Every structure is written in C-alpha cells, then in structure tokens.
Amino acid sequence: MTMPDISFQRSRPDVYGDAHPKALLRAIQEDGDYLIQLANQHIVSGDQFDQQTMKQLFRLAAKIESNPKRFHTPLRNKILISAFYEPSTRTRLSFESAWHRLGGDIMSITDRSTTGIAKGEGLADVAEMFNNYGDCVVLRDNCNYSLYEMMDSLRIPIINAGNGTDEHPTQALADLYAIFKWRSDLLSNSVSNKIRVGVIGVPNKMRTVRSFLKCLSVFAHVVDEVVVVHDESSEQELFAEGQREELEQRGLVISTSHQLNAVLPTLDVVYINAISWEGDSFHTYGGQFHLTAASPLKPDAIILHPLARGEELSTDLDHTPHNWYFSQARGAVFIRMALLTCMVERTEHVIDVV
C-alpha cells in the first residue's frame, strides 16, 4: 500500500480575511463603559446591541485577535455551563474554545436527556440549579422559548447560541466583525463608499439571517441596499409580520429578487445560507442558488456564510479572495472571547482605560 501524503503546512494561512485587524483597532477608540454595562444583561437578541456597544466589542475582539497571548487569564476561576441541545460545530466549539483560551473551566451538556429534563423537570428549576454551579450559561435549543423560560430564574447571564428559528445574536456579531475587518473605513464618521449587501436566504425562517439583519440595521448608514435573493416557494413567508417594516424603519433599504446571477455583479457582500433548523431537523431553502468560482461576483466582493455549508457554496471558492466565511468563523472565537469576558464582570482585566 502506498503511503498517503501525511505532511501538512502549519504556516498556511487558514483564511483570506485579515487575522491582524490593526486597521479596525485604529478606527475605534476604546471606551470601556459600553462593555461594563453588558454584565447586567442576558444576551438574547440582535435588537439589544446599539452601535457603540458593538463597536467596543469589535475593538476588544480585534485587540484579543491581534495579540491572543496577552489574554490567558481573565476568566480564571469562572465556570461556563455550555448547554447545546441541538447540533453545532462552530458555536459550541468556538464558545468553549473562547472560554478555555481565557483561562476558565467548562461544564458541557450536549444532550438534554442526560439531565432532569428527561424526568419532567421544568426549565425554571434547571436554571435555578445553574445559578449554583456556574457563572454563565450558553444555550442552544431548537425551541424558541426555552431561553425565556430559564431567564426569570437565572441570577447569572445566559447567552442565546441559537433558539429554534428565532435568533443567533453572537453569530451576527461575528458576521459584522468580519465585515468591519474587511472594510474598517465603514466605521469612520463619513462613509463615501457604502456597501450593497445580498442576502441569499429567508429572513423569516433563518435565525442567522434574522439576527444579521437586525445588527446590520444598526449600521444602516453604511449600507446602500440589502437585496434578499429567494426562490418563489418562499415568496409568502420571506419576512415575518412586521420584520421588513422594522428593518426599513431603522434605515435599511430592502429589495427582493429571484435572479441570483443578475444581482451578484452589483454586490459587495454576499451573505448566503440555505438551511433552517425547524423542530427536530433542518430544512433547505433556495436549492437552485449556487455560488461557485465561476459566479459573476465583483472581483473584490466577499462571501459570508454562517455554515454548515451545503451545495449552495462550492468548495472551489475556498481558495479565492471571496472566501471570508472561514475568517468569519475564525473571528467568532475572538468576538465571543470579548463578549464572555464582559458578561462575567471581568472587563477591567482586558481594557486599558476603565
């Protein structure tokens, strides 16, 4: 038997996005007050982030990403309860990686049937117990409401890591962190070159898209237009009641299209997602939409995808400069490191000016 090539290049860049976001650091002046107030709230929705708080989170994430060796200990003696009751590669592992990298300890539950829930225990009681065992909870659940059933009993913060079809707010932070690393000039006071964003997905069904649009709308002044590309089958259910109107009231200009290749040459950011977790399994939308290296993309357009990928995103894009989806996933560790530090009242360990 011939031996396969077992060598690998440790130095090969893993992403096309910039892993040393100096420009983003320079674009935002540090102001710890916005971060300190995060310790007094749960993280449930993209709605709760204002522009200044997001900018400060991006700045802190960039500071950690630029020099991760400086941040080994901020969460020493803190315990994370990582409760993931629905499949996850990126969110669970990046939250746990973030916590470990900051020096904290973790208790992980990946199957609710190993807890008292299997014996009929209510979520409020589970939450009451969590207060005694950990300092922060990260929850993924296929039910939209579990998060809210636990919140009243909790005296420690809970972070929504994806609740059914509803929201995935920390994914949205990672999405915008990638965009502002790509174009830190968008954070300046006067933006001359606004971006046109394409969303290939169903905002009413996909929690990643819902949270992304909420957070993007906070920066509506840098967005020329959002074009939602969808197939005809999702025409009636594209937006939830009032969803589009709310985004438009916040300043986003939104149009829709069925013609992916007709709009692609006009887009600066292409956000694609094809799946939605509904109940106990996932559903695929927009099966006819595919991005490949042959797609008519602007030469400097970036592609974002929350992943997991399916046939909609060809692997032949992985080795092109359009690939910012790996940078987006990589940056999620640093944005979560920034957020977690603030959630457990350790902000003063990581900022220079309090």
Residues of this chain that bind ligand CP (CB under 6 A)? 88-91, 162, 168, 171, 306-308
Strand, coil or helix: 309:
coil
Q: How far is the CB of 42 from ligand CP (least distance, A)?
A: 19
The Cβ-side half-sphere exposure at 223, using a 13 Å CA radius, reads 27
Sign of CA dihedral 103, 105, 111, 116: negative
Whole-Å CA distances, 199 to 196, 232, 254, 280, 340: 10, 15, 10, 25, 28
Looking at beta carbons only, is 215 or 263 nearer to ligand CP? 215
Looking at beta carbons only, is 74 or 203 nearer to ligand CP? 203
Please list the residues that pair with 256 across neighbouring strands. 228
Q: How far is the CB of 188 from ligand CP (least distance, A)?
A: 29
Looking at beta carbons only, is 82 or 91 nearer to ligand CP? 91
Crossing angle of helices 169-182 and 325-343, in 10° steps, is 120
Looking at beta carbons only, is 39 or 308 nearer to ligand CP? 308
Cα–Cα distance between 277 and 111 in angstroms, integer?
17
What backbone phi and psi angles, to 5 degrees, belong to 281?
-150, 175
- Give 307's contacts (C-beta < 8 A, 6+ positions apart): 89, 90, 325, 329
Strand 79-84's sheet: what is its strand order? 105-109, 79-84, 136-141, 158-163
Cα–Cα distance between 226 and 228 in angstroms, integer?
6
Q: How far is the CB of 308 from ligand CP (least distance, A)?
A: 6
Of 138, 142, 165, the closest CA to residue 43 belongs to: 138
Cα–Cα distance between 245 and 217 in angstroms, integer?
12
Please list the residues that pair with 106 across neighbouring strands. 80
Looking at beta carbons only, is 28 or 159 nearer to ligand CP? 159
Q: How far is the CB of 89 from ligand CP (least distance, A)?
A: 4
Q: How far is the CB of 306 from ligand CP (least distance, A)?
A: 4
Looking at beta carbons only, is 96 or 135 nearer to ligand CP? 96
Q: How far is the CB of 317 from ligand CP (least distance, A)?
A: 18
Q: What is the dihedral of CA 59, 61, 63, 66, to 10 degrees?
A: -130
Crossing angle of helices 325-343 and 51-66, in 10° steps, is 110
Token representation of residue 59: 């700045």
Q: How far is the CB of 1 from ligand CP (least distance, A)?
A: 35
Of 163, 220, 215, 222, the closest CA to residue 53 belongs to: 215
Q: How far is the CB of 335 from ligand CP (least distance, A)?
A: 12
**Cis amide bond preceding 83, omega within 30:** no
Q: How far is the CB of 92 from ligand CP (least distance, A)?
A: 6
332 contacts 324 by C-beta, under 8 angstroms: no
Q: How far is the CB of 321 from ligand CP (least distance, A)?
A: 22
Looking at beta carbons only, is 88 or 295 nearer to ligand CP? 88
